[in-house]
Structure 1
Amino acid sequence: MDVVDKDGIHGRVVANGPPTNGEEQWIVEVEDRSLLVPVHALEPRGDEYFLPVRFADIETAGEGSTITVPVMEERLRVEKRPYEERVTVEKWVESHDEWVDLPTEGEEIAIERVAVNQEVDTPVDAHYDGETLVIPLFEEVVVTEKRLVLREEVRITKHRSQRSRPEKVTLRREEVAVKRDKQQPH
């Protein structure tokens, strides 16, 4: 049977020792020496015993020698302690789908070709006619003399449009569950 002292050093019970003052004792071998230990000083812990003092503080057992082993006594002290309550919080995310109708904006371009076929003296630069960009296209026409003819204009107009388009959107929401676990402090 093993005995462990308060420093964690292991010894082994090898025999019963001679009783002292009517108290049972065991002979415990630790490394290269034998010690007499009162049985009442040992605390059972599973398949071994605990000695609440150090083996080094106990004198070696010898014939006719007296061994002094500190004897421990437990005393009861009653006091109030604050009561602890544990709270476990679980958190998770739930998802659900909702349909939303979001207005979207975009631009559309309308291209209009306008035939002009008009002679001009000098080229005309691109210009705006309100919201419409007018890009003149010229062509040289061979005649007895060379003339600049405004053949056509390309008119580009921007129109704003707004459409509704149903779309599936996933929304998440966190949930919480609270569990109470009552526990006394140590």
Structure 2
Amino acid sequence: MAHFHDNGSTHLSDGTLANARVIDAAGHQAAIVSTQHVGAEEQAWIRIDGGTRVLVPVSLLASESDGTFRLPFTFDIGSDAAVQMSFPVLEEQMQVEKRIVDTGRGVRLHKTVAERERLLDEPLRRDELVVEHVPVGQIVQEAAPPQARYEGDTLVVPVLEEVLMVQKQLLLKEEVRITRRQHQVREPQSVVLRSEQVAVERFDEGAGHTPQ
């Protein structure tokens, strides 16, 4: 805080500032009484509430469009009639920002598709049915005729026929033997397989492009 007192009188040196209205940073109003030169700097006497005068450098006065002047500090009069001027304390802070800049340098990727032919020769499984007719000629009981059965991989299907005899009986005429046999066959086939290849091309801004 700075304290200023003035009970004397001064002469007006600049008529344009005489009686001009002054507003401090808190909105308090005052008036310019006169100006004077202190060395090479011009000073202004400002009268605030209560008649107290304060000497302020003219360079601190900021002119407004309505003819008033603003000050960057606040006047405050205490109980002892001393004028206190409150100045704002400023501090500069540095703010660092990052941004992405295109330098014109980089790589360009070229993708090509190459084709090649490959021969596939894989074993494949195929089922075949072999039908055999086996004559039997055996009389069987009509109440219990033979049923189809498996003998290993062979399905045996009985074939029955009625024949005339002194007495009627079932004759097992033959058996059909169905055997499943497996064998491998090869059927080569040509297929086309595709693979991707990447070529890297480096380039600089303003220079020719040279693939790498």
Question: What TM-score do the two structures reach when normalised by structure 1?
Answer: 0.51
For 1:82 and 1:116, the matched residues in 2 are separated by 95
For residue 183 of structure 1, give the secondary structure of its aligned residue in structure 2. Answer: coil
Q: Are 2:109 and 1:101 aligned? A: no
Residue type of the partner of 1:129?
Answer: E
Residue aligning to 2:149:
127
Say yes or no: does 1:181 pair with 2:203.
Answer: yes
Which of residues 152, 155, 165 is equivalent to 1:143? 165
The alignment-based identity, stated in percent, is: 39
Instruction: Pick the structure with greater CA Rg.
Output: 2
Structure 2 Cα separation of the partners of residues 92 and 144 of structure 1: 90
The number of equivalent residue pairs is: 104
* Alpha-carbon distance in 1 for matches of 2:205, 2:167: 109
* Aligned 8 A contact 1:102 1:165 in 2: yes
Distance in 2 separating the partners of 1:109 and 1:92 = 51
User: Gapped runs of 5+ residues in structure 1?
Assistant: 1-80
Q: Which has the higher strand share?
A: 1
- The aligned counterpart of 1:112 is 132
* Equivalent-residue separation in structure 1 for 2:111 and 2:128 (angstroms): 48
CA–CA distance in structure 2, aligned partners of residues 103 and 90 of structure 1: 40
Offset of 1:82 from its aligned partner?
7.5
Distance in 2 (alpha carbons) for counterparts of 1:140 and 1:82:
100
Pairwise CA RMSD: 1.9
Partner of 2:188: helix, strand, or coil? Answer: strand
Q: Which amino acid aligns with 2:126?
A: G
AA aligned to 2:133 is R
Flag as ranges the 4+ runs of structure 1 deviating above 3 A.
81-84
Distance 1:126 1:165 in 2: 36
Determine the C-alpha separation between the residues in 1 that align with 2:134 and 2:102.
Answer: 93
